[in-house]
Chains A and B, each alone.
Chain A
């Protein structure tokens, strides 16, 4: 076969490889920050595609979508344009954990994101398979596509996802493939290994899809969307809320299903040893669940529509890599699915990831400068986790292209900060999913206050328009003013005691400040307004903030106290490229770990397992004393 000839195709500020959820955010952020950007991907039909579940959001993940929106990213706006169902989860719990989840119309989500990218002035979109990085003196200067096209760049973002040496497994069937039977990326993985990156194999999977009209929904439980309006983007008005939503449906596996699975375990690649990659604990295949939780008589399943214009239904929580024949039997044993027709079988997919401790907090690799990686390639799973990294990598690639200082978020700023810090500090031994329990300060990292936390940062980066920023400032002022009003308005027993009696609550003996009255669990902000109404009622996004700030002030204060301590540790920067071998007194394990991770702050160093307080003390003395030997210096 003749050799493909390389040619100089074009020069960009930023090149983004891969147009999944990470790549789209990275490319849009870079372009919107004024950088001439190329987004190159294997298949344009797969742009912003959801190869697994047709939904976005949920606990922690939903908050990430809000954070992306507050930074000026696209995921929130795009889902608001294309969802078919919206639900607020955890409404019975506290404000820290309320979480929005949307069912997406997969095709519409892809089309809408593609249109946005096509319309972005500084952004070129191209189909192409990137096979090689251009690296000069340890600095990435571009990429080379399979067609021979060389794209020069000041910085490059890789978001290869599960395409990297992807391998699909269905029972005894196994073939090289990217997600959903797309073309895999083989040579790029080899190139990364040549450059010195340490890769490893992860595994994930997806359940079968069935035909909607073959489901007997009468045997399942309906899960409709919410009536009260919600949106992911702070820009989306209540008036845009979708009235005509589609439902999801709930059903269960049973003893028969489990028996089929048990009888066929020898054909399950997960158990026969065929699959070598490490799968996620939080998203186990159904065969895994049946084996590990043998005493559970049934497992919940969700039937989720994949869109408005399709009959395809996703069988949620039924992820499997059993042979197709067994998958059919398993499906047919489930109530409502007795006559289900299979549209696509479930499969497991193995792929390469870059071990994420090879990255800095900006998502730049330590191995090759000006090269950033984001998304599933870094060992995460989930569209939201990918997009959150994508926007951060895009921002930092754009800043690097302009020689500007980098941008990071701390664990107390955002779930995105928690996610990236976990990855680069601890690495991960399984596909990483964000959970609210991974955050130390979840009461401060709320769904409702993502804009308060991040809009100013987004504006400073040039990703939030002046107009939106002005609106945001007005909202902030309104919140402060209303808090001030409640903290200075007194309620008298005569005003409220009749109402308290009517709800069987203890009466007031003395007058109280409205802000203190609101701390009573039975009193909501709306209740309060019957006694001290405003001439023009405030928007619910404002009153929600007022209510949470006052009602949970005690708990918020507790978290803020511990944050103050963390921030002082974060402020202690560790200079780049320290030679830990030259620091006397460090324990051997700490020396190795510190050399490997190269933490950027003292706080980050403390989170590395195997680094003890004594090591931290020694390190901090060296930093304070400025007696640090640098590698190669």
Chain B
């Protein structure tokens, strides 16, 4: 029942630094590296291609059939590899978002998120690297492994930990019931364990499902809130963009399958990751005056979850402004009244009739005035929205999501087994697997837990 031992299982990680360069590499190592990659790869049969080859193909979400990325995939069979194990390296072209999805699909297909430095650790363990300075490497391994465990556990939100611990306890109780049934057949505890097993599996499965749904909220955190900066030409969109870009080291990536002129840029505002939509449009309009106008803004508005509408306070409201105000009325929106440093020309009463006061932020981006209030408003909107949504527990991390998916698969096998009339001691195999997977999330490994439960829950003899 131990789950701490992970040597030789298949590990995966993104091995290029985030956000640098147009290509990122997802790396797999372990005895099932090829099989795991093959589950999400559409192209040649990876199990049959020669070693040290690079293969063109696509990464497909096996559940939806959706194409996630166009990739070049290297097959490297052990022992002549970095780790001496079978390895796969996937060159992803789709930027950070789709690279993340590729990684998640691999985790869902059975790989485990690599600990920091684990590829190197395996190289040591498998004798690939000659340790001339063994002791410092020991320290490194110690530090890295301990920190990795610490990090894995620290990433756990207290509520999530409690929730998972409760789910495990639910499973543990039913497992103890199964064990009593098996080890003490002469006792009157026999009243239907199968039914209890089924109910518990369903209960835990629905909770795991809910958690996985929060993963899509977590996805916003990971992938950024799609944000459009809109407004007439020359109101200060470009300055606003530059302000945000300078404030943060933005991550710039290409988006697959489209022309390179549409850029998505990532900025981080008070912990809220924003994915800025159609920033090219903003720059273009500044270069080539009035060329694109409102029509282009409308397209950006439909793609975005958050709109930042910029108005020029030094000019009266135009028909174009009013059109944009109306087009964004149903959206989550911040209206920036810019150019406060210039004499005011805009009719405040007219604006108040169109935009609720709480959506208004007054700035002079040029003089960096009012931008802090804007940043704060973005943060409030985002975190406020999450607090309003039903669940407070959220899963955001790839490792957790991968393990939850595996637990879900085991729970589904439990239900399928019961449906097929399999005896409880076999169904129990999948239930135990679900318990183990959830335990990996919280970092709890307690092989004797079950036996302790057994004796505390039931009165047994013989």
List the interface of chain A (C-beta within 8 A of B): 53, 58-60, 89-90, 92-97, 99, 281-284, 289, 292-293, 296, 299-300, 302, 316-317, 319, 435-438, 440, 442-443, 521-522, 552, 555, 558-559, 565, 568-569, 584-585, 603, 606-607, 612-614, 616-618, 620-622, 624-625, 627
Beta-carbon contact of B145 and A614 below 8 Å? yes
Bound CA–CA A437/B450 (angstroms): 8
B349 located at the interface, meaning its Cβ lies under 8 Å from any Cβ of chain A in the complex:
no
Which residues of the partner chain A approach B158 to less than 8 Å between Cβ atoms? none
- The contact sample of 26 A-B pairs, CB cut-off 8 A, is A53-B462, A94-B426, A281-B460, A282-B455, A282-B462, A283-B460, A299-B459, A319-B461, A435-B454, A437-B179, A437-B183, A437-B451, A437-B454, A442-B425, A521-B422, A552-B422, A558-B433, A569-B5, A569-B7, A584-B138, A585-B138, A613-B145, A613-B149, A614-B146, A618-B142, A624-B124
B:129-168 near A, CB below 8 Å: 131, 134-135, 137-139, 141-142, 145-146, 149
B28 interface hit (Cβ, 8 Å): no
Which of A92, A281, A302, A569 meets B455, CB within 8 Å? A281
B461 contacts across to A, CB distance below 8 A: 282-284, 289, 299-300, 316-317, 319
**Residues on B facing A (Cβ under 8 Å):** 1-2, 4-9, 121, 124-127, 131, 134-135, 137-139, 141-142, 145-146, 149, 179, 181-188, 420-426, 429, 433, 447, 450-451, 454-455, 459-462
Q: Which residues of B contact A281 (CB under 8 A)?
A: 455, 460
Docked-complex contact A436 and B179, CB < 8 angstroms: yes
* Closest Cβ neighbor of A602 among chain B residues: B7
Q: Which residues of the other chain, A, contact B188 by a CB distance below 8 angstroms? A: 300
Contact of A621 among B124, B146, B149, B454 (CB under 8 A): B124
Closest A residue to B185 by beta carbon equals A89
Most A CB atoms within 10 A — which of B6, B181, B186, B433? B186
Assess A627 versus B462: contact at CB under 8 Å? Given A438-B451, A585-B142, A617-B121: no
- Is the beta-carbon distance between A96 and B146 smaller than 8 angstroms? no
B97 to A: closest C-beta gap in Å: 32
Bound-complex Cα distance A621 to B420 (A):
46
Q: A613-B5, A621-B137 are in contact. Are A296 and B459 (CB under 8 A)?
A: yes
Most chain B beta carbons < 10 A, residue from A59, A435, A559: A435
Q: Specify the chain A residue showing the minimal Cβ separation from B423.
A: A94
Contact A613 B6, beta carbon cutoff 8 Å = yes
Q: Give chain B residues whose Cβ lies under 8 Å from the Cβ of A59.
A: 182-185
| Known A97-B425, A613-B145, A618-B141; contact A90-B5, beta-carbon cutoff 8 A | no
- In the assembled complex, the CB of A334 is this many whole angstroms from the nearest CB of chain B, namely 15
Known A-B contacts A299-B461, A584-B138, A624-B127; the reply to A94 vs B1 at CB < 8 A is no
Q: In angstroms, how far is the closest chain A Cβ from the Cβ of B443?
A: 11
Cα–Cα distance between A410 and B187 once the two chains are bound (Å): 31
- Measured between alpha carbons, how far is A213 from B146 in the docked complex, in Å? 68
Quick check: B179 and A435 within 8 Å, CB to CB?
Answer: yes
Residue of chain A at shortest CB distance from B125: A620
Beta-carbon contact of A522 and B421 below 8 Å? yes
Residues of B within 8 A of A299 (CB): 459, 461
B134 touches A621 (CB 8 A): yes
Inter-chain contact A621/B131, CB cutoff 8 Å: yes
- Would B422 and A625 count as touching, CB distance under 8 A? no
Cβ-defined contact, A616 with B462, below 8 A? no
Q: A283-B461, A284-B461, A300-B186 in contact; A555/B429 too (CB < 8 A)?
A: yes
Point out the residues of chain B lying under 8 angstroms from A442, CB to CB.
425
Taking a contact as CB atoms under 8 Å apart, the answer to whether A565 and B8 are in contact is yes
Contact of B183 among A96, A316, A436 (CB under 8 A): A436
Cβ contacts under 8 Å, A622 to chain B = 134
With a cutoff of 8 Å between Cβ atoms, the chain B residues found around residue A316 in the complex are 461-462
Closest chain B residue to A290 by CB distance? B459
Contacting residues, chain A, for B142 (C-beta < 8 A): 585, 614, 618
Q: Please, which residue of chain B has its CB at the minimum distance from the CB of A583?
A: B138
* Cβ contact within 8 Å between A440 and B426: no
Distance (whole angstroms) from the CB of A582 to the closest CB of chain B: 11
- Among B5, B181, B454, max chain A CB count under 10 A is at B5
Question: With contacts A552-B422, A612-B145 known, what are 16 further pairs, Cβ within 8 A?
Answer: A53-B462, A59-B182, A92-B423, A299-B459, A300-B187, A436-B179, A443-B425, A522-B421, A555-B429, A558-B429, A559-B429, A569-B8, A585-B142, A606-B4, A621-B125, A621-B131
A317 — which chain B residues lie within 8 A by C-beta? 461-462
Closest CB in chain B relative to A583 CB, distance in Å: 8
A625: chain B residues within 8 A (beta carbon): 127, 131, 134
A93 touches B425 (CB 8 A): yes
A568 vs B184: C-alpha distance in the bound complex, in angstroms? 34
List the B residue with the shortest CB-CB distance to A585.
B138
B423 lies within 8 A of A93 (CB) = yes
Instruction: Looking at the assembled complex, report how far the CB atom of A436 sits from the nearest CB atom of chain B, in whole angstroms.
Output: 5
B421 touches A521 (CB 8 A): yes
Chain A residues within an 8 Å CB radius of B121: 617
Contacts of B134 in A (CB 8 A): 584, 621-622, 625, 627
Chain A hits for B141, CB < 8 A: 585, 614, 617-618, 621
* B433 and chain A: residue at smallest CB distance: A558
The interface residues of chain A lying within 8 Å CB-to-CB of B181 are 93
Inter-subunit contact B455/A99 (CB<8 Å): no
Complex interface: chain A residues within 8 A of B1 (CB): 440
Judging by beta carbons under 8 Å apart, are A607 and B2 in contact?
Answer: yes
Q: B179 touching A443 by the CB < 8 A rule?
A: no
| Contact A565:B422 (CB < 8 A) given known A59-B183, A435-B183 | no
| A residues less than 8 Å from B420 (CB atoms) | 521
Q: Which of A53, A302, A616, A627 has the most CB of B within 10 A?
A: A616
Instruction: Sort A-B residue pairs by CB-CB distance and give the 5 closest, nearest first.
Output: A94-B423, A521-B421, A585-B138, A614-B145, A317-B461
- Distance in Å from the Cβ of A608 to the closest Cβ of chain B? 11
Which of A99, A613, A618 contacts B185, CB < 8 Å? A99
Set A95, A289, A436, A618: member contacting B459, Cβ < 8 A = A289
Distance, CA A93 to CA B181, complexed state (A): 9
Q: Are B426's CB and A552's CB within 8 A? A: yes
**In the complex the two chains form, is B2's CB within 8 Å of A606's CB?**
yes
B32 nearest CB neighbor, chain A only:
A561
Measured CA separation A319–B461 after assembly (Å): 9
Q: Decide if B426 touches A613 in the complex (CB within 8 Å).
A: no
Question: What separation, in Å, do the CA atoms of A584 and B1 have in the docked complex?
Answer: 29
A59 to B343, CA, bound (A): 90
User: Contact: B127 with A606, CB < 8 Å?
Assistant: no
Residues of A within 8 A of B426 (CB): 94, 96, 443, 552, 555
- Most A CB contacts (10 A, CB to CB) among B124, B183, B188, B455 go to B183
CA distance A292 to B460 in the complex (A): 11
**What's the nearest-Cβ distance from chain B to residue A521, in Å?**
3
The verdict on A584 contacting B451 (CB below 8 Å), with A93-B182, A617-B145 known, is no
Instruction: Say how far B9's CB is from chain A's closest CB, in angstroms.
Output: 7
Contact B135 A584 (CB under 8 A): yes
CA distance A605 to B413 in the complex (A): 32
Distance of A314 from chain B, by nearest CB (Å)? 11
Q: How many angstroms between the C-alpha atoms of A632 and B349 in the bound complex?
A: 92
Q: Quote the shortest CB–CB distance from A279 to chain B (angstroms).
A: 12
The docked-state distance in angstroms from the alpha carbon of A281 to that of B184 is 14
Which B residues are CB-close (under 8 A) to A296? Answer: 459
Chain B contacts for A293, CB-based, 8 A: 459
Chain A CB within 10 Å, residue with most, of B149, B188, B460: B460
B184 to chain A: which residues have CB within 8 Å? 59
Given contacts A292-B459, A440-B1, contact A94 B422 (CB under 8 A): yes
Could you tell me the distance between the alpha carbons of A616 and B6 in the complex, rounded to whole angstroms? 11
Nearest chain-B residue to A562 (Cβ)?
B433
A443-B451 Cα distance, complex, nearest whole Å: 18
Which residue in chain B gives the minimum CB-CB distance to A620? B125
Q: Cα distance A437–B183 when bound, in Å? A: 8
> What are the residues of chain B within 8 A of A289 when measuring CB–CB?
459, 461
